[in-house]
Each structure stands twice: as C-alpha cells, then as structure tokens.
Amino acid sequence: MCLSIPSKIIKIDKEKNTAFVDTMGVTREVGLDLMEEGSLHVGDYVLIHIGFVMNKIDEEDALESLKVYREIIDKMDEEDRFAAVRESDNCPSGA
C-alpha cells in the first residue's frame, strides 16, 4: 500500500535542488524537481511520492492527517511502525 504522509520541510539545499523533510520523526532527503523554484520554504508541509515532492499542502490539513496516522500507528507494533514511516514515500509508480 502506498501512503503519502505529510512531511515538514526542515532544510532546503538550493544547490542540489533537494529538501530534507521530517516524516513523523524520520528525516529523509527528497527531490524538488517537480515543484516551481522558490515555491517551498522551511516549515512548509508537503506530500512525497517516489522520492519527490509532489505538492505543498495546508498546515491545518497536514496536522489533521498526521493525527489520524498517529492513531493508526499507535495500534501497530514498534517494528511495523518504523517500517511504515520509512517506506511510506517509496512506493513504486503506479501504486
């Protein structure tokens, strides 16, 4: 299953055209090639698919989604929790 968990931008590397995001405590580097230059800033919430930011989302919507994801994750065992967050944005295209 492919879930796009809202991620918060914590750093932008303009030289590499990437950003570092926090996805429920997991930090990862993602590409910005699909976004308009200058459209994203530190603190913005985004959705990621196959390693690229696909779109920016409203903070209120992001926080509500994260609340629901936390409720789901709280019902999982610890190993499955970390795997779900780590793998959330690495879905094969077409998933």
Write down the pTM of the prediction. Answer: 0.79
Residue 2 covered by a domain = no
Q: What is the mean pLDDT of each run of 10 residues along the chain (95 residues)?
A: 82 97 93 95 95 96 93 81 66 47
What is the DSSP secondary structure assignment for residue 12, as one 8-state letter? E
How far is residue 55's CA from residue 44's CA, in Å, rounded to a whole number? 10
Residue 95 covered by a domain = no
**Domain carrying residue 58:** 7-87
| The pLDDT of residue 45 | 98
> From the centroid of its chain, how far is CA 73?
16
Residue 19 covered by a domain = yes
